[in-house]
């Protein structure tokens, strides 16, 4: 793959060299002294069930034309982001430095600790909750998770549906947690993928 201008060759200020950098304005500072110990997985496709287009990128950069598709109307004025977005072919885009707080989990709690955005990294997978994800996405996700765990004290990976039960349902039944667990056991550092 050709290197685009602006793509770093190594970690720099929380930006991973394995991703295309696309800066989102939707982020803020983490609370002082906060350790990043959790990764929250999400799924998204815009319009729902359509893949490969620019709409997710536009949503995270506040440039989505909410009149372009009926499904976009509910997104008007929404300011959201994730640190990473993994497309169906395994290509990764990064929208927020890992040093910053992306706006991905919303009202959330994990193991009795609230405000997961403060101490987590958010990764979006291109897909729908009820459908299977691609092998390339699992391979890239495992590679990204290992890179994150080497850089930050991350101990667990879980889903948006698990930190916001009843409110969110992604990545949903189409996501193969045992498959991710097997990939993460192959190499160090080892992470634990947990659903409860």
Contact between 195 and 159 (Cβ < 8 Å): yes
124 is catalytic: yes
Residue of 77, 101, 115 lying closest to 27 (CA atoms): 101
| Rounded (10°) CA dihedral 177, 179, 182, 184 | -70
Q: Where are the domains of the chain?
A: 20-193
- What top-level class would CATH report for the domain 20-193? alpha beta
User: What pTM did the predictor assign?
Assistant: 0.93
Q: Residues 74-93: what's their mean pLDDT? A: 97
Please identify which of the residues 35, 93, 124, 134 carries the catalytic annotation: 124
Confidence of residue 9 (pLDDT cuts 50, 70, 90): confident
Mean pLDDT of 158-185: 94
C-alpha torsion 135→38→99→182, nearest 10:
-30
Please check the confidence at residue 57 and state whether its pLDDT lies above 60. yes
């Amino acid at each position: 793959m050709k290197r685009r201008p602006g793509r770093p060759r190594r970690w720099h200020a929380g930006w991973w060299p394995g991703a295309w950098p696309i800066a989102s304005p939707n982020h803020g500072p983490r609370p002082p002294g906060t350790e990043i110990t959790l990764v929250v997985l999400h799924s998204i496709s815009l319009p729902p069930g359509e893949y490969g287009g620019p709409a997710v990128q536009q949503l995270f950069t506040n440039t989505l034309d909410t009149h372009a598709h009926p499904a976009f109307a509910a997104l008007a004025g929404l300011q959201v982001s994730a640190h990473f977005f993994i497309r169906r072919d395994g290509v990764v885009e990064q929208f927020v430095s890992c040093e910053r707080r992306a706006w991905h989990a919303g009202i959330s709690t994990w193991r009795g600790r609230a405000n997961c955005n403060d101490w987590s990294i958010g990764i979006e997978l291109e897909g729908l909750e009820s459908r299977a994800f691609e092998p390339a996405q699992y391979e890239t996700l495992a590679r990204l998770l290992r890179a994150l765990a080497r850089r930050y004290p991350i101990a667990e990976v879980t889903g948006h549906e698990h930190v916001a039960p009843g409110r969110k349902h992604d990545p949903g039944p189409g996501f193969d947690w045992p498959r991710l667990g097997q990939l993460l056991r192959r190499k160090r550092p080892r992470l634990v993928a947990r659903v409860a």
